């Protein structure tokens, strides 16, 4: 007769796994756009006419203070040198009195020399104006419009995620031994239902 009942409970396992993977995130690219507008620069200069009438006015006697002072200085030098020449000539003539020259004759000759006039015909102005000119000028500087692109690409290194295996014990194994028979009494007389 079988008096032991043996019950076994097996182990219960569950497994979860995850594959290895390589994660790489590509960020959105950014592009900077720089727009330079076109430029047009124009510079113009009008024609320039230079008229110099200094020589023409000088030939008609319309002189500036500077030329008047210059001419007066030259006339003074010339008058001094002429007076010195006249005095020297008068002195030379007076030294020749022994040749029959008298002082009234010398003075008469000097007065006659001073009373002589020279006449000449001139067209005024003797010189025309000095005319010069500079042509007009136009400078154009054009810079065309331009667009510059400045892409900013950020590279990110990939991340390696290793694989994973997880084993979970949902039920542990066990063995249950149950005595299903009647109890054994030692001595047998200890059994309450013992009969002799």
Render pLDDT for 126-177 as a digit per residue (tens, 0 to 9): 788 888 988 988 899 989 888 888 877 777 788 888 989 999 999 999 999 8
pTM: 0.32
Between CA 106 and CA 109 the distance in angstroms is 5
pLDDT digits (tens, 9 = 90+) for 52-86: 888 888 777 777 778 888 888 998 999 888 888 87
Between CA 106 and CA 93 the distance in angstroms is 7
């Amino acid at each position: 007769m079988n008096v032991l009942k043996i019950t076994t409970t097996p182990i219960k396992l569950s497994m979860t796994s995850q594959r290895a993977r390589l994660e790489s995130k590509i960020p959105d690219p950014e592009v900077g756009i720089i727009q330079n507008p076109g430029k047009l620069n124009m510079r113009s200069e009008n024609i320039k006419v230079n008229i110099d009438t200094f020589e023409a006015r000088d030939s008609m006697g319309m002189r500036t203070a500077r030329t008047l002072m210059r001419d007066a200085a030259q006339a003074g030098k010339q008058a001094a040198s002429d007076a010195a020449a006249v005095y020297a000539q008068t002195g030379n003539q007076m030294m020749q009195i022994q040749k029959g020259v008298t002082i009234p004759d010398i003075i008469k000759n000097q007065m006659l020399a001073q009373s002589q006039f020279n006449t000449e015909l001139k067209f005024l102005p003797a010189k025309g104006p000095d005319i010069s000119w500079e042509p007009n000028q136009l400078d154009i500087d054009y810079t065309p419009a331009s667009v510059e692109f400045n892409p900013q690409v950020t590279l990110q290194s990939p991340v390696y995620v290793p694989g994973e295996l997880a084993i979970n014990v949902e039920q542990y194994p066990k063995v249950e031994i149950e005595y299903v028979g009647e109890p054994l009494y030692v001595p047998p007389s200890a059994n309450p239902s013992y009969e002799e």
